[in-house]
Amino acid sequence: MNNPHQQASEQANEPLRLVFIGPPGSGKGTQAPILKEHYGLAHISTGDLLRLEVSANTDLGREARKYMTEGALVPDQLIIQMIAGVVGGQGFILDGFPRTVNQARKLDEMLGERGLRAVIEFKIEDRLLISRILGRLVHPGSGRSYHVEFHPPRVPMTDDVTGEPLVKRSDDNEEALMNRLAAYHEVTTPVLDYYRQQGILHTVDASDKPEAVWSQIKAALNQ
Ligand code: AP5
DSSP-derived secondary structure letter, 122: E
Report whether residue 73 contacts ligand 1, using a CB cutoff of 6 Å. Answer: yes
Contacts of 61 (CB under 8 A, 6+ apart): 50, 52, 53, 54, 55
pLDDT tens-digit profile of 137-174?
A: 999 888 888 999 999 999 999 999 999 999 999 999 99
The pLDDT mean for the chain works out to 92
Q: What is the pLDDT of residues 200-213, one digit of tens each?
A: 999 999 999 999 99
Residues whose CB is less than 8 angstroms from the CB of residue 103 and which lie 6 or more positions away in sequence, other chains included = 76, 79, 80, 97, 191
Confidence band, pLDDT 50/70/90 cuts, at residue 192 = very high
Residue identifier of the C-alpha nearest atom 23 of ligand 1 = 47
Q: What are phi and psi of 158, to 5 degrees?
A: -135, 135
Q: What is the pLDDT of residue 6?
A: 47
What pLDDT, on the 0 to 100 scale, is given for residue 132? 95
Is 25's C-beta closer than 6 angstroms to any atom of ligand 1?
yes
Output the residue whose Cα is nearest ligand 1's atom 19: 29
For 188, phi and psi rounded to 5 degrees? -90, -30
Q: How much is the pLDDT for 92?
A: 96
* Phi and psi based region of residue 85 (left: phi greater than 0; alpha: psi -120 to 50; beta: remaining): alpha
pLDDT at residue 223, rounded to an integer:
81
Give 3 or 215, the one with higher predicted confidence: 215
CA distances, 70 to each of 55, 58, 182, 212 (Å): 17, 19, 12, 32
Task: Give the CA distances from residue 165 to residues 13, 56, 99, 134, 210, in Å, rounded to whole numbers and listed in that order.
Answer: 40, 19, 30, 18, 23
User: What was the pLDDT predicted at 1?
Assistant: 40
Q: Counting atoms of ligand 1 from 1, which one is nearest the CA of 176?
A: 25
Residues 6+ apart with CB under 8 A from 116: 17, 18, 19, 107, 195, 200
The dihedral sign for the CA sequence 85, 161, 137, 25: positive
d(CA 184, CA 176): 12
Better-scored residue on pLDDT, 85 or 4:
85
Q: What pLDDT is recorded for position 9?
A: 44
User: Percent of the chain having pLDDT more than 70?
Assistant: 94
- Beta-carbon neighbour count of residue 92 at 10 Å? 23
Give tens-digit pLDDT for 43-96: 999 999 999 999 999 999 999 999 999 999 999 999 999 998 888 778 999 999
